[in-house]
Each structure stands twice: as C-alpha cells, then as structure tokens.
C-alpha cells in the first residue's frame, strides 16, 4: 500500500496552491478593497478552481488507498462517483479555464503589459507570486494530465 509518486505529486501541488492563495490573500492591494475583491480577477478564480481540482484529486487518491482490498460494493460505487467528478472537473473546468487564462495572460502581457499586469502591481505582487498564479497552472495541468487516469 505504498504511495505512488503521482499521488505524492498531487498532494504537493495542492499544498503549493494553498500556499499561493494564502500569500495572495495576505497582500493588501487597493483592488481587493473594491467591489468584487479578488473574485473579479480571472487569474484568482482559476487559482481557486485549480486548488479545488487538486483537492478532489488528493481526496480520490486517499479514498482509493483506503478502499483498496475491501470488497464493499458501496465503497466502490462512491469511489467511482468521486473519480467521475474528478474527471468531469478536469475536462470542463480545470483544463480549459487554466489553458485559457495562461495563454491569454501571456499573450496580452507580451502585446502590452499595462493591459493585464501594470507595473504598479510590481509594488504589491512579487514576481514569484505572479508566476505561481499564472505560469504554474499550465505546468501542473500538463504534468498531471497524464497521471490523472490510472
């Protein structure tokens, strides 16, 4: 009943997304004080979607580890529901929204940085946090996409 490296990887990704979310919410930006707060930014919404998705992945991994060897059909049925929820979320939310956010952010950033990430934000958001919110999403989606189905 040893952990598979992809299960450990998904848990580490979940922890890193939680860390990025906590660091982002700790920033005192004027935009967070206005209507909608952080929820008006698609990068933040995508970060939450990714964190929820990887939370479901970790929950699925733990459930499959705990039910391995049991012959309970009810547990198997519940596990299949959890796996179908994970697969649905990957196909409908996590992958499409993640790819859209990353490609649009960097395309607009290359065209005109001020449209999507003004230089003023450098005073509030460190470069590592910006890459954690935008670039990390694509890396984890491409890395984890192969290991979700097992």
pLDDT, tens digit, for every residue of 81-101?
999 999 999 999 999 999 999
**3-class secondary structure, 129:** helix
Residues of the chain with pLDDT under 70: 1-4, 144-150
- Please tell me the pTM assigned to this model: 0.85
pLDDT in tens, 96-123: 999 999 999 999 999 999 998 889 888 8
**pLDDT for the residue 134:** 85
**pLDDT for the residue 148:** 53
* Contact call for residues 65 and 91 (beta carbons, < 8 A): no
**pLDDT for the residue 1:** 44
Q: Where are the alpha helices (DSSP H) in the chain?
A: 5-26, 42-67, 73-89, 95-111, 113-116, 127-133, 135-145
d(CA 55, CA 64): 14
**pLDDT for the residue 2:** 52
Domain ranges of the chain: 40-148
**pLDDT for the residue 28:** 80
**pLDDT for the residue 41:** 86
Axis crossing angle, helix 42-67 with helix 95-111, rounded to the nearest 10 = 150
Tally of CB atoms within 10 A around 13:
22
């Amino acid at each position: 009943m040893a952990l598979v490296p992809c299960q450990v990887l998904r848990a580490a990704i979940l922890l890193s997304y939680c860390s990025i979310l906590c660091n982002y919410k700790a920033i005192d930006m004027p935009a967070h004080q206005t209507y909608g707060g952080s929820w008006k930014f698609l990068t933040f919404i995508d970060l939450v979607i990714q964190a929820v998705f990887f939370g479901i992945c970790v929950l699925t991994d733990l459930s499959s580890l705990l039910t391995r060897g049991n012959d309970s059909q009810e547990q198997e049925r519940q596990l299949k529901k959890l796996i179908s929820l994970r697969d649905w979320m990957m196909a409908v939310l996590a992958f499409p929204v993640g790819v859209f956010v990353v490609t649009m952010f960097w395309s607009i950033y290359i065209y005109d940085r001020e449209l999507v990430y003004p230089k003023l934000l450098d005073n509030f958001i460190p470069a590592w946090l910006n890459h954690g919110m935008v670039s990390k999403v694509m890396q984890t989606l491409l890395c984890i996409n192969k290991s979700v189905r097992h």
